Structure 1
């Protein structure tokens, strides 16, 4: 059994998609990051970097339990464990790794910063908003160019690179519908997959934030996510 420790976030959802696509036995252990559950001693034993998701595989290499964090590492581990969703061809496999790294080093961090400064930061900083929204547009241009000429990010085969990328694009596809036809064609194909549909619904969101939107996101939440507790020596 694999336990996925995470919540309703893009990073947890890409791992859920992979677990579902790979037909692995798994269960969700919901981590409420707005309540600070990622800062508890129990969670920090799993990930000293206090970020979700984490997986705990009871049947790791050699039958020993394995705890793993960082989504790129988790996806590569799951693909190696099952022998699925990484191409066999050396060129296509390297291309898969390339687009996976593009997601974990570019799409994830830059999209996250853009959302932070446009939606969640209490004070609005025009320079930061401009910096990150322009970078999001540039990354979308790169993705759209790739997907205008290739069925999937790795080429002809659906892979962990696709699973990693889609969860970050849901808001963008709603806000910029029609601007990126290559991405939209690819996203439509992904969203037809039952594992993607189920994976994108994973996690238990806090009711007050879902119903209240930004009004439900308070200074207490900001302090938990980005305040002084992040810098306490562990």
Structure 2
């Protein structure tokens, strides 16, 4: 099969994780064809998609210029893209120590921020009954994760390698939902000023900005 685009990206219009991949693809100037799965129709659990990603989640990426190599899990996709297509290592580092510091923060995002923020959203919105203790637990975890970021960003401008990397980029989609997760009384800028300042800088990165604009257009078209 002939593909006009370099990649096919299985995504979701609202879900946060695929947009990390979009940000990096746009930064690297790589073209892709998005396929937005309809979770209400169970498209992410359909047999055809489970052949792409047996976990039945998004994102998943197919690289048509690398023998249709398929990779899923957002953190793994980001690492694949920088290893194969970021030839100057602009979004990671050529220095081994710095490279692993970038990976360290990326792992913290995918294992720490994503799951806890996701559970906070689940118990506030999607769970069939309101469980105040669960909501409180995960809201506290959101604040704990922000506290970890604050402890480091109060001393340095970026998370690793002294520059913007995939580590910084990966935190954007979930951090964009903080006011929703923690409610109208939470003041991000006041409570975590260094993390807030860093987040605002990452939002201005061209690929991030373009990706979020695309996400907004999709939301407006619904």
Q: CA deviation at 1:152?
A: 1.3
Matched residue of 2:8: which SS?
A: strand
| Structure 2 CA distance for aligned equivalents of residues 115 and 201 of structure 1 | 23
Q: CA deviation at 1:86?
A: 0.9
Q: CA deviation at 1:205?
A: 4.6
Matched residue of 1:34: which SS?
A: helix
- Indicate whether 1:20 and 2:26 are aligned: yes
Structure 2 partner of 1:4:
9
**TM-score if structure 1 supplies the norm length?**
0.82
RMSD of aligned Cα (Å): 1.8
Structure 1 partner of 2:199:
187
| Structure 1 CA distance for aligned equivalents of residues 54 and 214 of structure 2 | 24
Q: Deviations over 1:79-109 (max 9, x none)?
A: 0011331111122111101100000000000
Matched residue of 1:52: which SS?
A: coil
Instruction: Report 1:1-234 matches (<5 A).
Output: 1-7=6-12, 8-60=14-66, 64-82=67-85, 83=87, 84=89, 85-172=91-178, 175-178=186-189, 179-203=191-215, 204-205=218-219
Matched residue of 1:200: which SS?
A: helix
- Which protein has greater RCO, CA pairs closer than 8 Å, 6+ apart? 1
Unaligned runs of 5+ in 1: 211-234
Unaligned runs of 5+ in 2: 1-5, 181-185
| Structure 2 CA distance for aligned equivalents of residues 184 and 130 of structure 1 | 22
| Structure 2 CA distance for aligned equivalents of residues 44 and 121 of structure 1 | 25
**TM-score if structure 2 supplies the norm length?**
0.86
Q: CA deviation at 1:10?
A: 1.1
Q: CA deviation at 1:31?
A: 1.2
